[in-house]
Amino acid sequence: MAGILGVGSGIDIGSIIKALVDAEKAPKTSQLDRLEQISTSQLSAVGTLRSAMSDFQTSLASLNKPELYSARTASLSSSANLSASATVTAPTGVYALKVQQLAAGSKVGLKSFVEPVGTPLTFSTGSLTLYAGDPLNASTTKLELNITATNNTQAGIRDAINSQGASKGFSASLVTDASGTRLVISSSNLGDAKDVQVVASETLAGGNVSISELGFTPDVNVAPSSVTGAAGVINQAKSAKIFVDGLQVVRDSNVIEGVVDGVKLTLTSAQSQADQDAGKTISLTVGQDKSGVKSNLQKFVDSYNKLFNTAAQLTSVVQVGEGKPPVTGPLLGDATVRGLQSSIRTQISALQTGDGIRALAELGITSQRDGTLKLDSTKLDTALSGNFDKVASYLSGDKGLMGRLSTLVDGYTRTAGVLDQRQKGLASTISGIDKQRTALDLRIAKVQERLVNQYTAMDTLVARLKKTSESLTGQLASLPGFVSKNN
């Protein structure tokens, strides 16, 4: 093209060819542009619709779970002393609780020692055995330590207890008071009669203190002395004690299960002595979890409205001014959308047979003028309080409303479903447009090549004819008697 300037003919051949090529290409290009715009817009719209349907499907699945209707709540009149939770096995009812005592582990202070001047305090070699309870009871938790020259100081014994006793519930620290420094041993083994005891046995003399002086048998009435340095009990091991409807329950844990079937009680503090003396109780109410059903019904209404508002926007017709064409949604008049809306409305408005809940209106869910749903919270509370079991049978199960709607929606949203096939078809159309553009470019290139060849030949011929004309004119001018027109 760059070399075709119309030298021979004096015609702007490049412009002529460009105009002819553009005229050949423009209609098909315009057609493909329109098809691509429409297909892309519809593909995006179907994706938007599918997303809204997915949210709606999630709300249906939540309301179609049997466990939603068997869930239990455990509420307390006061949470100052304990918390409670309930499983589906818990029977509904009201219970009177009193928290008399929390379970606790033992804490003792062994005999204190004063470091000798200029010499570290060391013990003779031997063994220390720590017990969380009666040493004669085979089931008592115990920790056996060998005391050697590597750990025969108070700090060494502390470290040995902490490293070897953690898995058995023992820990130790050093506390210094007016009488000296002592080992303080704690046990996380909870329950009555699980106080820490220490049995010391000397195997070989050495050090400046006998290991036997660390032996300790608890007397719950004797505390460690900061004056004499004598050992004593800091905290006594105790079992948790509560009353359920006047019946005493004793447990070696502050997490109590199995007293009320399906209910777990976690104790945090004992009631004050004044409240215990006054017989003050804490009310535990185990009931059906109506709040979970109510919350999920609101999500259902919200997702339904989102779906139908989305469908309305995608199929809308908006007038933009007099004399101007309206702006239409990408799925205007789409049969798929109409079929979906119609099918869902049919299921929602259908009356269920039997003597239970027959329609959503009985749950306070009604249609508004614009086709969206509205939930009356007060009416729903009444239905849940009076007909909870019937609500469950109306909503859940394959024949329940949510089950029927789930089956319907799944036909649209699943892989190879209606919308999936629609998206694949539109994607294929867009891909085909790209192929058509490539084919069009190849065809136009050939048209352009043909025109270039034709106009080049024409221009060459004109150039030759002009040259011949000029030659003849020169020859005629040289003939005798030839009179030029210019003379």
Q: Do 63 and 76 reside in the same domain of the chain?
A: no
Say if residue 320's pLDDT is above 90: no
The answer to the question of residue 477 being in a domain is no
The answer to the question of residue 204 being in a domain is yes
* Interval 217-268: pLDDT, tens: 999 899 999 999 999 999 999 999 999 999 999 999 999 999 999 999 999 9
Say if residue 333's pLDDT is above 50: yes
Last residue of a domain, one of 235, 266, 301: 235
The answer to the question of residue 338 being in a domain is yes
The answer to the question of residue 184 being in a domain is yes
Give percent above pLDDT 70 in the chain: 97
Q: Do 309 and 421 reside in the same domain of the chain?
A: yes
Q: Do 371 and 414 reside in the same domain of the chain?
A: yes
Of the ranges 23-27, 100-104, 127-131, 289-293, which one carries the lowest mean pLDDT score?
23-27
Q: Which domain holds residue 281?
A: 72-103+239-288
The whole-number pLDDT of residue 346 equals 92
The answer to the question of residue 472 being in a domain is no
The answer to the question of residue 480 being in a domain is no
The whole-number pLDDT of residue 481 equals 64
Residue 2 binned pLDDT confidence (cut-offs 50, 70, 90): very low
Q: Do 198 and 261 reside in the same domain of the chain?
A: no
> Roughly how many angstroms between the first and final C-alpha of the chain, as a whole number?
43
Say if residue 206's pLDDT is above 90: no
Residue 4 binned pLDDT confidence (cut-offs 50, 70, 90): very low
Q: Do 297 and 410 reside in the same domain of the chain?
A: yes
State mean pLDDT over 27-45: 79
Please, what is the Cα angle at 337 between 335 and 340, to 5 degrees? 105
Q: Do 397 and 449 reside in the same domain of the chain?
A: yes
Residue 430 binned pLDDT confidence (cut-offs 50, 70, 90): confident
The answer to the question of residue 467 being in a domain is no
The answer to the question of residue 124 being in a domain is yes
Residue 486 binned pLDDT confidence (cut-offs 50, 70, 90): low
CA dist 12 to 2, 19, 455, 460, 463, Å?
12, 11, 10, 14, 14
Q: Which residues pair with 128 in a beta bridge?
A: 145, 200
State mean pLDDT over 198-218: 92
Q: Do 264 and 369 reside in the same domain of the chain?
A: no
State mean pLDDT over 309-322: 84
The whole-number pLDDT of residue 484 equals 57
**Residue 426 contacts residue 43 (beta carbons within 8 Å):** yes
Q: Do 99 and 57 reside in the same domain of the chain?
A: no
The whole-number pLDDT of residue 8 equals 57
Strand arrangement of the beta sheet that strand 263-267 belongs to: 82-86, 263-267, 255-257
CA gyration radius for the chain?
Answer: 47
Say if residue 11's pLDDT is above 80: no
Tell me, what DSSP letter sits at residue 398? T
- By the 10 Å C-beta count (0-12 exposed, 13-18 middle, 19+ buried), 27 is classed as exposed
Say if residue 295's pLDDT is above 90: yes
- Domain count within the chain: 3
CA dist 323 to 169, 243, 319, 329, Å?
87, 83, 10, 19
pLDDT greater at residue 440 or residue 147: 147
Q: Do 111 and 230 reside in the same domain of the chain?
A: yes
Q: Do 124 and 23 reside in the same domain of the chain?
A: no
Q: Do 441 and 387 reside in the same domain of the chain?
A: yes
Say if residue 368's pLDDT is above 50: yes
Highest mean pLDDT among 45-49, 271-275, 325-329: 271-275
CB atoms within 10 A of CB 256: 21
**Residue 163 contacts residue 89 (beta carbons within 8 Å):** no
Q: Do 64 and 88 reside in the same domain of the chain?
A: no
